[in-house]
Amino acid sequence: MSSKPYSTTRRGFLLEGAGLAAALALDAPAQQPGRPAPWYRHAYRWGQTNITEKDPVRYDIAWWRSFWKRTEVQAVIVNAGGIVAYYPSKFPLHHRAEFLNGRDLFGELTKAAHDDGIFVMARMDSNRTAEDFFQAHPDWFARNRNGEPYRAADKYITCINSPYYDEYLPGVLREIWERSRPDGFTDNSWAGMGRESICYCANCAGKFRAKTNMDLPRAANWDDGAYRKWILWNYERRTEVWELNNRTTQGVGGPDCVWSGMMSGSVSGLARSFRDLREVAHRAGIMMLDHQRRDDDTGFQQNGETGKRVHSVMGWDKLAPESMAMYQSGPGYYRVASKPAAEARMWMIAGIAGGIQPWWHYIAAYHEDRRMYDTPEPVMRWCKANESILVNREPVASVGVLWSQRNTDFFGREDAGDRVDAPYTGFMHALVRARIPYVPIHVDDLAAAAGKLSLLVLPNIGALSERQCESIRVFARNGGSVFATGASSRYDEWGDPRPDFGLADLFSVHATAPAGRLSNAQQGGGGRRGGAAPEVHTYLRLSPELRGSIDGPKAGDEPAAAGARRHAVLQGFDRTDILPYGGTLQELKVDAGAVVPLTFVPPFPTYPPETSWMRQPTTSIPGLVLSEKGRSRVAYMPADIDRRYAREHLPDHGDLLANVARWAAGGSIPLVVEGPGVIDCHLYRQGARLILHLVNLTNAATWRAPMEDFIPVGPIRVTVTAPAGTQPSTTARLAVSGTMAAVRRNGSAAEFSVPSIRDHEVVVLG
Ligand SMILES: [Zn+2]
């Protein structure tokens, strides 16, 4: 392994300078000098009782006021209109809640909240109507190719290009404000019908032709120019609706009366509904996240990831409250039963660590399972007591993980879960497990963020434009390191294959066979596709060029001896010459000077066991290619270890990803956390102090919801390197356990020990 003599000075450079948030929030509206910060910049704790149609006859407002107080909420989300109106609307077809009986429940709740000093966001849910509305305005509704209306159960789905959005909804928004003066608006399903259904109504046909001079695409076909334009046209329309709704609410309610439609925490989910996270982030004063629970196999850390991702595109000075289900939701969906308390609590804690503002969420205003009322209170009260350390801070991380919604669309296509999400998730898991702090970086924000980062990870980012490739090259030319996997840069921004990797020069590899065309069902690119079938297995061979014999072990041929000569990225694998792989790889041409520490072992049978021997123990097909160019270290990993780690959770795969990341990052990683367990670490800088979240995910249910209890871990030894130009702290306050830790200064680092972590600890240094 080569040394990295520049790492200290480089890190010094990386951590200095203007704030990442300021650098990234390029288009965010600037706050007017002399004008106080708008309400939505200091509403840190949220609550939502999602009203059912039955609730108007049983809503105990006095009880909920006491609950607001107990849980220290500063803002509530109250159902107003859309599919169901909770006030006597002047619009005759605005469907009243079945049991409303003329009551103005929305108005009463808004007044109660305002009397208690609590802000109100009026909640809309506005993409479908009852049949009477459809009969009155049949031209406002989405239609399939046969001209039949799209339906969801007994409701009719409105077309986003119709006057329903341009005229009717603005009227409803104005009416709601004029009656009750909510502080802002949100909408549960503002983006209309998703990608899976093409609308052929007259509004869509006419507007699409006017914009593109083309007919609407006949089917979902990513290789069809009309479909590609239809995708982009749909994104533009959602952004237009966002702006229209804000003009409407701010026009009637003043500049602070923002409209902020809800956003998913999943980029694939956003892509399917044409909600562009980065475009929205540039327009939103506050991001309302509807991301209520973890998926079974992506862990709680996905909530910390969501917080970091959202803030990385909208700035760390804005708030991102997130709806957090207190009812049981997946696996197993029970709207009026309590979510196991530990599961709900850990979801809140994991999100808070990523910069998310907690927002408890109940379905219905009356519950027979009252246990769910006990869950949020302690978390919310802790957040209030520690409010100052949870906001107005920026991450300290030298590793950035690249993402792009365009890649999700045009490389992911109908298989984004496998092509895009799984590789990203694999890196997330590997970095969290290795306790390496990282930040998500949108590809188009790379130039602004580059000065903070020493390593950029490209998790199978197949679709990159020439300009995006160049921004990655510039990052490397300026001394940044790159760790890319799979089909990264093999396709252009439309998902069309390039003759070679767009970043072949950077990766030091060249394709020897054409990349497959991306279809809806298969990937094809760069030898990346597919695993070995279950009846065969494949492997990666370690450092074959350094071994005396690779046909089989010889007496006295102790792998550990050879291990001493192996590359640093193979650290910890001294006792093995192979690693399980499972995928398939193709030949690549490797540039002179590059190192290939892993090569492919082709498939051989798994069954019957008598046949399970390597037919071809060695090949020259690379599984990992390393090169150094100036200060920049570049790792290109053709093998889809990232995706496999997300799917199979083999520790070898996590260790390999972490090893390569550490090698490429040099000495720039500012945090070392030692001790047992799975701990999600988030490090922030806030003025002169550092704030470290240690989220203890060690649990029988780390990978299988729901979590039932907490398993304390400790002691945990922590070393934090002070950012350049600052002295390491001499104090460490543990904001959860309420104690101080003794700090030992070691050069530029502060070392301390956390005796035990139950669910989380937050350490304040300085
Ligand atoms: Zn339409």
User: In this predicted structure, what is the pLDDT of residue 5?
Assistant: 33
Is the pLDDT at 14 greater than 50, yes or no?
Answer: no
- Tell me the mean pLDDT in the region 344-353: 98
Query: Whole-angstrom Cα distance, residue 513 to residue 509?
Result: 12
How many A from CA of 518 to the centre of ligand 1? 28
Tokens of 739: 């104690």
pLDDT tens digits, one per residue of 264-323: 999 999 999 999 999 999 999 999 999 999 977 779 999 999 999 999 999 999 999 999
Cα 357 to middle of ligand 1, angstroms = 36
Mean confidence (pLDDT) of the chain:
91
Residue 129 alpha carbon to ligand 1 centre in Å: 15
424 pLDDT exceeds 50? yes
| Cα–ligand 1 centroid distance for 122 (angstroms) | 27
pLDDT of res. 546: 46
**In the chain, what is the straight-line distance between the N-terminal and C-terminal CA atoms, in Å?**
36
**How is the chain split among helix, strand and coil, in percent rounded to 5?**
35, 25, 40
Q: Say which residue, 551 or 176, is predicted with more confidence.
A: 176
Residue 169 CA, ligand 1 centroid: distance in Å: 16
pLDDT (0 to 100) of residue 536: 85
Cα of 27 from ligand 1 centre, angstroms? 30
Q: How far apart are CA 669 and CA 659, in angstroms?
A: 12
Please name the residue ranges forming H helices in 493-627.
Answer: 504-507, 559-563
pLDDT(530) > 60:
no
pLDDT score at 693: 98
Tokens (6 digits) for 279: 């475009």
CB 106 within 8 A of CB 86: yes
Predicted pLDDT at 32? 63
Between helix 225-253 and helix 202-212 the angle, nearest 10°, is 110
How close is the Cα of 233 to the center of ligand 1, in Å?
A: 12
pLDDT score recorded for residue 535: 80
Average pLDDT over residues 220-249: 98
pLDDT of residue 3: 36
If pLDDT is split at 50, 70 and 90, which confidence band does 398 have?
A: very high
Asked if residue 359 has pLDDT above 60, the reply is yes
Identify the band that residue 722 occupies on the pLDDT scale cut at 50, 70 and 90.
Answer: very high
Distance (angstroms) between ligand 1 centre and the Cα of 162 equals 7
Q: How far apart are CA 568 and CA 578, in angstroms?
A: 16
Is 521 a residue whose pLDDT tops 80?
no
Average pLDDT over residues 635-654: 97
User: Is the pLDDT assigned to residue 564 strictly greater than 80?
Assistant: no
Whether 529 shows a pLDDT value over 60: the answer reads no
**How confident is the model over 128-156, as a mean pLDDT?**
97
**Averaged pLDDT for residues 633-638:** 98
Q: If you measure from the C-alpha of residue 252 to the centroid of ligand 1, how many angstroms do you get, rounded to a whole number?
A: 28
pLDDT of residue 533: 63
* Ligand 1 centre distance from Cα of residue 460 (Å): 35
Burial of 344 (0-12, 13-18, 19+ CB in 10 A): buried
pLDDT score, position 331: 81
Q: Is the pLDDT of residue 9 over 80?
A: no
Average pLDDT (699-718) is 94
- The answer on pLDDT for 104 being more than 70 is yes
d(CA 402, CA 488): 11
540 Cβ partners below 8 Å, 6+ apart? 578, 579, 581, 598, 599, 600, 601, 623, 624, 639
Q: pLDDT at residue 130 above 50?
A: yes
**pLDDT for residue 254 is more than 90:** yes
Report pLDDT for 80.
98
Calculate mean pLDDT across residues 388-401: 97
* Residue-wise burial string across 676-688, b where 16 or more C-beta atoms lie within 10 A, e elsewhere: ebbbbbbbbbbee
Task: Give the least confident one: 77-81, 181-185, 331-335, 652-656.
Answer: 331-335
Which tens digits make up the pLDDT trace of 207-223?
999 999 999 999 999 99
Task: Read off the tokens for 615.
Answer: 């037919």
C-alpha pair distances (Å), 669 with each of 10, 244, 519, 673, 748: 11, 44, 39, 11, 13
For residue 157, the CA-to-ligand 1 centroid distance in Å is 10
pLDDT of residue 401: 98
Residue 16 confidence (pLDDT): 31
Q: Residue 304 and residue 315: Cα distance in Å, rounded?
A: 15
Q: So what's the pLDDT on residue 547? A: 38
Q: Are 573 and 579 in contact (CB under 8 A)?
A: yes
Cα 199 to ligand 1 centroid, rounded to whole Å: 5
Mean pLDDT over residues 664-670, rounded?
Answer: 95
Q: What is the pLDDT of residue 704?
A: 87
Q: Label residue 332 by pLDDT band (50, 70, 90).
A: confident
Instruction: Find the 272 Cα to ligand 1 centroid distance in Å.
Output: 17
Q: How confident is the model at residue 403 (pLDDT cuts 50, 70, 90)?
A: very high
Determine what percent of the chain is predicted with pLDDT higher than 90. Answer: 86
Distance 603 CA to ligand 1 centre (A): 50
Determine how many CB atoms are found less than 10 A away from the CB of residue 643. 28
Question: What share of the chain in percent tops pLDDT 70?
Answer: 91
